Structure 1
């Protein structure tokens, strides 16, 4: 009896793995994460990360003044060997600087990847419609947003209040580790209610 898995089964499994892992990353993990998360720690780390970004990049501060909401994930860890996963907690600050909610970012990926990486990111949500997308029942898939712009030094200099009246602008900071590249594809943001 031949126990070798046929090639088409292996291909189908490889294609289905990210979707399966992505779903596993949310419900049970989200509940466990929220129960062990600290509101004060998340808020404090997020405010410090945002202020650090503002001190290094005046363009980010300009976006922050115009944004309807600023979603800050100060500490994200990503690791993988062929199959990768990433996760971190963050906070949404409103136009007035007040905390509007706590969120988890999580994602799974499949492909040529190996190593561990740590980083943070800020999403500047330029209109109230982008802010309202955060609280959809199944969460918000960042990479599927047509208005997402990942800001680098070249783009930062061209952003003005006229060009940044809508969409989502992402700043990635403090990248450390062995993994090359970064993508928001497969990343999902879900609201959490920290237990403490």
Structure 2
């Protein structure tokens, strides 16, 4: 048992180190410019690869775009990413997303996700919160890229709609449940 917790502690240390150096040397302005570049790239990818997301973007009151989430796990897992909250084409704030979980799991992956706030109330609740957690502060209808194969329209009746896309790595499936969003 001590052996397993020793390995888990080392893995978490490595994950923390990777997250800390991912923006090392960038000033706040450069960091936010980099986030903007990645957000724009993710939106273009989503529009090209996932059918009918443009309609969802038009209907949404706001979007939280997290262009790169890195997840790693060995019994205990964690994920982290940074992104922007946009209303229309204007960025209001920058956010981090973080998730911690445990259970039978092993691997690493990267993916992107977007939360679409479909009502003014949902957007306001997110924007005015001090740390927003999916599952605790709001339920979201989560759609994965494979859900869109052969879909003509996106008709989801939820205040918050999440799309997970661009999954690469060894962990199959990404869950946003329990993800906490905090202003940078």
Task: Please tell me the TM-score bracket, short chain as reference.
Answer: 0.7 to 0.9
Matched, 1:60 2:41: no
Q: Deviation of residue 129 (structure 1)?
A: 1.4
Q: Higher relative CO (CA 8 A, sep ≥ 6), structure 1 or 2? A: 1
Q: Deviation of residue 44 (structure 1)?
A: 1.1
Contact 1:135 1:191 in 2 (8 A): no
SS at match of 1:134: helix
- Consecutive unaligned residues of structure 2, counting only runs of 5 or more, are 2-11
Q: In structure 2, what is the equivalent of residue 7 of structure 1?
A: none
Q: Deviation of residue 143 (structure 1)?
A: 3.0
Contact 1:103 1:190 in 2 (8 A): yes
Separation of aligned partners in 2, 1:35 and 1:107: 25
Contact 1:70 1:124 in 2 (8 A): yes
Q: In structure 2, what is the equivalent of residue 132 of structure 1?
A: 124
Q: Deviation of residue 144 (structure 1)?
A: 3.4
* RMSD of aligned alpha carbons: 2.9
Please give the TM-score of this superposition, normalised by the length of structure 2.
0.76
Q: What do the CA deviations read for 1:31-53 (whole angstroms, capped 9, x no partner)?
A: x9997671100011001101110
Q: In structure 2, what is the equivalent of residue 143 of structure 1?
A: 135
Cα gap change, 1:87 to 1:143, in 2 (>3 Å): same
Matched, 1:44 2:37: yes
Where do 1:1-196 residues align within 5 Å? Answer: 38-94=31-87, 96-144=88-136, 147-151=139-143, 152-153=147-148, 156-160=151-155, 164=157, 166-192=158-184
Separation of aligned partners in 1, 2:69 and 2:134: 15
Equivalenced residue count is 162
Query: Which deviates the most, 148-157 or 104-113?
Result: 148-157
Q: Deviation of residue 139 (structure 1)?
A: 0.8
Q: Deviation of residue 154 (structure 1)?
A: 6.5
Between structure 1 and structure 2, the one with the greater Rg is 1
Separation of aligned partners in 2, 1:39 and 1:87: 16
- Consecutive unaligned residues of structure 1, counting only runs of 5 or more, are 5-20
Q: In structure 2, what is the equivalent of residue 9 of structure 1?
A: none
Contact 1:134 1:190 in 2 (8 A): no
